[in-house]
Amino acid sequence: MIEELKKTIQEYLPDGDFFLLEKSFNFASHAHFCQIRATGEPYINHCYAVAMILTELRLDIPTICAALLHDILEDTLVVREELKDEFGEEITLLIEGVTKINKYKFDNQEVAQAENWRKMLLAVVKDTRVIIIKLADRLHNMRTIKFLPPEKQEKIAQETLTLYTPFAHRLGIYKWKGELEDLTFEILDTEKYNEIKEQWQVRTESSVKNLEYIEKQLTEKINSSKINFRILARPKNLYGIYMKMQRQEKSFSEIQDLFGMRVITDTEEHCYQILSIVQSEFEMVENSFTDYIAVPKNNMYQSIHTTMLGDNGMIVEVQIRTEDMHKRAEYGIAAHWRYKESFDKKNTEPIKSFDAESHLEFIKHILESKDSDEFLTAIKTECNFEQIYVSTPKGRIIKLPEGATALDFAYAVHSDIGDMCMGVKVDGKIVSLDYKLTTGQTCEVLTRKNIKPTEHWLDIVVTPQARSRIRKYLRENKK
């Protein structure tokens, strides 16, 4: 196993510290020597599998070492001091970040869950790699979950769907998000999962030739422009199809765009040139255009989305992006280390300016929630799959989670403006503070100096940022 791990890492880190890697593997093997997983395999197999998952993201040696040792403090007799002496502070802090709090007894499972997440997120603020290791750990646990009792499977799958999957989405790691969704879907609603999978397989077999035909057409049209590009065709994940059926109240047979095509090019300018070719050469599905290059998602995702109708009647969603955008779409925040470790060494392209920490500000808002229930709700809100986009009268785009209110908008503009909000104009009409906004609206905050936040406002807002600010004002102005 260690030779296979070294070989994989050498492909992207030829000068890595492989002595430290071997030492971590051997230490973990000895510490977990007598432990067997529910699969019947030695426990070290799990540690190895988590490390291998992280190599897909091309992470650095200390992160891979921490993955090999990630359960050492929780499940063995090894203590922190011993770990620090052997592997140093950096690796020890990563391991501590993913270790559950076992020494305290909590009132109930929800409080325990909240406090373990709070501990982990405090570590994530200092080092993003903590959450990436935790997600890789959960991904492997989900891949092997069927060896556990049914009630435990359901509990783990539910936690994965409500907390881990949204976090993978919020960090932009779509590769893991899609797999986690499908693995949890299969556990939580096996009948519906099998039904959709069976229908999907039938449709896939009949659609392959149509898809190849459209790809050939698209390639011919773009080739004439002399633009560098490549096309990847991909099926949509089963859970994503199921959620679309739910949202649109449609049966599986009514969902047309089961496949997506990614057209990947070299520059942002070429993205828009390719869009122009697609729109002029193919029939487009109405209201299907979204420009995430001009307005990126909160998780750094950028692409142009549009849906086209081939002359063979097949509907295909087309995503147009650059190579850099594609790496971020696949690996999200982990792309930071791919650039740092890989491209820097090979000098194949300049170092990218990427401030990973600036994309973790949302975690600080979550950590300001003190109550356990509110804390878990804050995680789900901040990691909300769906976002809305509204603008100020001056054209500034404000991104908010679906379900956000007019008062949330006021606090998103500025916390001081939120505190003095007396009302909001939406498309020129005054609305109540609890009015739920939708994408495309133009909003203007009306303020008055003698207006102050009240307890009632906590029932109106949904964003942790707004809740945190209101609570702060109420604490500081109790009298």
Query: What is the CB-side half-sphere exposure of residue 454 using CA atoms within 13 A?
Result: 7
Q: Which amino acid is at 348?
A: T
State the DSSP code for 438: -
Residues in Cβ contact with 196 at an 8 Å cutoff, skipping those fewer than 6 apart: 238, 241, 242, 252
**Cβ-based burial of 258 (10 A; exposed 0-12, middle 13-18, buried ≥19):** buried
For 115, counting Cβ atoms within 10 Å of its Cβ (0-12 exposed, 13-18 middle, 19+ buried), the class is: middle
Task: Find, among 254, 255, 252, 142, the residue nearest to 198 by Cα.
Answer: 252
Question: By the 8 A CB rule, do 435 and 406 touch?
Answer: yes
Total Cβ atoms within 10 A of residue 108: 9
Q: Catalytic site residues?
A: 74-75
Burial class of residue 20 in the structure, from the number of CB atoms within 10 Å of its CB (0-12 exposed, 13-18 middle, 19+ buried): middle
Tally of CA atoms within 13 A in the half-sphere of 433 that contains its CB: 23
The first and second tokens of residue 22, run together, are 């071997």
